Structure 1
Amino acid sequence: MTNDVKPDSTITKRLIVSSIGAAALLVAFVLPAEYGIDPTGVGELTGVKALSKTTAPAKAGTDFGQTMNFNIEKYDLEAEEINQSIRGLLKLEDKVFKSETIVIDLEDLGEMEHKFIMKQNSSLLYSWKVLNAKGDGVFYEFHGHPSTADAPNYPDGFEQAYSKGEGFGQSGTFTAPFPGYHGWFFMNLEEGPIKIEITVSGYYDEHKEMHRAVDGVVTNKVEF
């Protein structure tokens, strides 16, 4: 017997039947389960429509009922000035930003202390290095203390250390935890005189050499 049905025609019929079946599944089950849309009523009858009401797993950033409180005013697009912002992200300064490089000559067997006078919460970006080191560099101690006028508000002899060690340089950022004098004590560990270059940028009133000695003999001392 001769088969008059062409292969291409058979494939086309199968594709049509498959498409109709897929569409029926979409309308009868997928739409009710995923989106709660049930035009045929089959989703309600079979119970799959209830799946659309199930709470999805929480994703990153989902609000779990916790309230984050920021010290920020209502944002007003028409405001000429914004006086508050999120704590830690912005701090307005009443002084002009400064940037300078200081070169310190330190004698053989010499030691010295150089301080920046800063207000509480003011910041410095700093980098210092020994320019002509050949041996062990310097002993350094980065610390701060209040002014003589503020000293009664602190424990007797109060100082706060930030970092110390031996080496040839250090870079970082610093925010003054209290108003006063903040800076470095350097002791020459090299054989012979050296130069120390300090580059700073930030907010401070002034800076000055507070102490200098050579082989234990004080040659300069500034009252604070």
Structure 2
Amino acid sequence: MSSTENNGSLTKATLGSSIVAGIVLVLFILPAEYNIDPTGVGKALGLTVFNEQGEVTQGAQQSGDSANQSVVLTVPAGKGIEYKLSMNKFEKVTYEWQTDGGDLYVDLHGEPAGDTTGYFESYTIGTLPEMKGSFTVPFDGSHGWYWKNKTDKSINIQLSFSGEYIVEGLK
């Protein structure tokens, strides 16, 4: 083989592998890693679920004392999300949430500020389509809801709350 033939083969191989790499990037890597799916193939193959998290579709992200807020959250099928408020010891929040259909596992709990052990205290646990009540926190820290969707379709939650807190949002 001559040097010219080798260069031509090398150029063809390089071009071919670049095209294959581009196709793999668009069809598989972007949907799985970045939830960018221009062709829809990633969703069809279930690759976009690796990046699905709950979404806040309305509502403010920061609030001060004695605030009233309402947010809509989406819990993807087979996934869980957590929505948190930063609160000081003995502060109180009144809340109400309901789904657009279907029960969700819920754990209303708190984690002490600065704790590195993974400790948390659950205030309420259940599997319900709605809940309302209030809680007064026993310690400074991050307090809120964990919802788990055990169904095969996304479920929206309308969450309204008022009290003394700073919104941490989705975690």
Same fold (TM over 0.5): yes
Secondary structure of residue in 2 paired with 1:151: coil
Q: Cα distance, 1:142 vs. partner?
A: 0.7
The match for 2:156 is 195
* In 1: Cα distance, 2:132 partner to 2:78 partner: 25
TM-aligned CA deviation for residue 173 of structure 1: 1.0
Quote the residue 1:40 is aligned against. Answer: none
What CA distance in whole angstroms lies between the structure 1 residues aligned with 2:73 and 2:151?
15
Structure 2-normalised TM-score?
0.59
Query: 1:9-31: CA deviations, max 9, x gaps?
Result: xxxxxxxxxxxxxxxxxxxxxxx
Whether the 8 Å CA contact 2:101–2:129 is kept in 1: the answer is no
Using the alignment, how far apart are the partners of 1:186 and 1:169 within structure 2?
11
Q: Which residue of 2 aligns with 1:146?
A: 112
Match of 1:130 among 99, 112, 125: 99
Partner of 2:75: 106
Q: How many residues align?
A: 108
| Same amino acid, percent of matched pairs | 25
Corresponding residue for 2:144?
A: 183
RMSD between aligned residues: 1.4
Q: How does 1:116-127 map to 2 (within 5 A)?
A: 116-127=85-96
Distance 1:129 1:176 in 2: 22
Specify the code of the residue in structure 1 equivalent to 2:76: E
**2:68/2:163 contact within 8 Å kept:** yes
Residue 164 of structure 1 deviates from its aligned partner by 0.4
What letter is aligned with 1:109?
A: G
Q: Alpha-carbon deviation of 1:207?
A: 2.8
Deviation per CA, 1:97-116: give whole Å up to 9, x if none: 10011110111112111111
Measure the CA separation in 2 of the matches of 1:118 and 1:202: 10
**Where do 5+ consecutive residues of structure 1 fail to align?**
1-94, 211-224
Cross-structure match for 2:167? 206
State the AA in 2 paired with 1:139: Y
Name the larger-Rg structure: 1
Q: Aligned partners of 1:143 and 1:167: how far apart in 2?
A: 16
Matches of 1:207 and 1:200, distance apart in 2: 13
Shift of 1:191: 2.9
**Aligned residue among 66, 84, 92 for 1:97:** 66
After the TM superposition, which parts of structure 1 deviate over 2 Å for at least 4 consecutive aligned residues? Answer: none
> 2:152 aligns to what SS in structure 1?
coil
Instruction: Please state whether the residue corresponding to 1:125 is helix, strand or coil.
Output: strand
Higher relative contact order (CA 8 A, sep 6+): 2
State the shift of 1:190 in Å: 2.8
For normalisation by structure 1, the TM-score amounts to 0.46
Question: What are the Cα deviations for residues 64-86 of structure 1, in whole angstroms up to 9, with x where unaligned?
Answer: xxxxxxxxxxxxxxxxxxxxxxx
Distance in 2 between the 1:151 and 1:190 partners? 33
